[in-house]
Amino acid sequence: MPSHIPVLATEVAELLQLKPGDVVVDATLGAGGHSSAILEKISPKGTLVGIDKDEDAIRIASNNLSSFKPQSQLATVVGSYTALDSIFSTATKSWRCGKPDGILFDLGLSSLQLGGNRGFSFLEDAPLDMRFGEAEDLTAEIIINSYPVDKLADILWQFGEERDSRKIAKAIFEARRKERITTTNELVDIVTKAKGGRKGRINPATLTFQALRIAVNDELSAIMSALPIAIELLKPGGRLAVISYHSLEDRIVKNIFRDAAKNEIVKLVTKKPTRPSFVETKNNPRSRSAKLRVIEKI
């Protein structure tokens, strides 16, 4: 399984302006890459609450971060960042640490999930699952095999901006009438044929997989509801950093930040998003599309 290299880790740690003793929420803990860089800055006597929907990620991160425990307070919680405020207050109840100085969202999925036989990747044959956390009921297999053709096409168009959304939805509908579609390889074949075969460097199923993952995990609604909660939770002068990986996510982040700045609740720390350096994109191709936006609560 590939290890996860945190994206824009130096920039996040610098722009959050952290110092020893600070309180931070990592809303998307993953393998704990960013949290490790954050704990370096806030230890000793720092407090970190890490949240992830994925139990495997929580287990791996807890293990990776255990060396910080003697110097800092650390809680790792399985849950959704849409419940950030209640997770934070429950986790820190006995610590009396005050509100967070910094909150980080590193959106999307981790390399651990991409390589984890969970149906996220079009490069590996796996069951069509795509759930970040096992607590959810909806899987990609359910969407593919039971949604009406129009709803399928809408998902591909809205969450993947896939131009051939109708063609692909119709091909899925025809295929599932013969036999239930259960694996990523089956789906890749159907999409590739519907799009007239493989043409360029990019896999024809790329946008279909992105769209299904977003739909399965209701990702865009989750971001829309969680960011205002995060802004509310921050202490005055505290900073919120969000890394997004495609235009649908970035548009939501940009609009919420712009509106909060207009209402003088926050000020924009990054007027334009921070992008990874050339060296980072060479060393970690996953970082290529990353955009980091940061605000400070007034």
Ligand X SMILES: C[S@@+](CC[C@H](N)C(=O)[O-])C[C@H]1O[C@@H](n2cnc3c(N)ncnc32)[C@H](O)[C@@H]1O
By CB under 6 A, residue 6 contacts ligand X: yes
In the list 49, 109, 188, 266, the residue contacting ligand X (rule: CB under 6 A) is 109
Q: Which residue is nearest to ligand X (CB)?
A: 30
What would the two tokens of residue 133 be?
């956390």
Closer to ligand X by Cβ: residue 136 or 161: 136
Listing DSSP states for 227-274 in one string gives HHHHHHHSPTT-EEEEEE-SHHHHHHHHHHHHHHHHTTSEEES-SS-B
How far, CA to CA in Å, does 242 sit from each of 5, 29, 223, 230? 17, 13, 10, 11
* 123 vs 184: CA distance, rounded Å: 8
Quote the CA–CA distance of 272 and 274 in Å, as a whole number: 7
Among 50, 108, 119, 276, binds ligand X (CB under 6 A): 108
* Residue reference for tokens 């969450």: 159
Which helix (H) or strand (E) covers residue 282, if one does?
Answer: helix 278-283
Which of the ranges 77-85, 170-178, 229-237, 268-276 carries the binding residues for ligand X, by CB under 6 A? 77-85
Contact call for residue 72 and ligand X (CB under 6 A): no
Question: For ligand X, which residue of 33, 102, 119, 238 counts as binding (CB under 6 A)?
Answer: 33
> Which residue, 32 or 238, is less far from ligand X as judged by CB?
32
Contact segment (CB under 6 A) with ligand X among 107-115, 116-124, 177-185, 200-208 equals 107-115
Question: Which residues are at the interface with ligand X (CB under 6 A)?
Answer: 4, 6, 28, 30-34, 51-54, 57, 80-82, 106, 108-110, 132, 217, 222
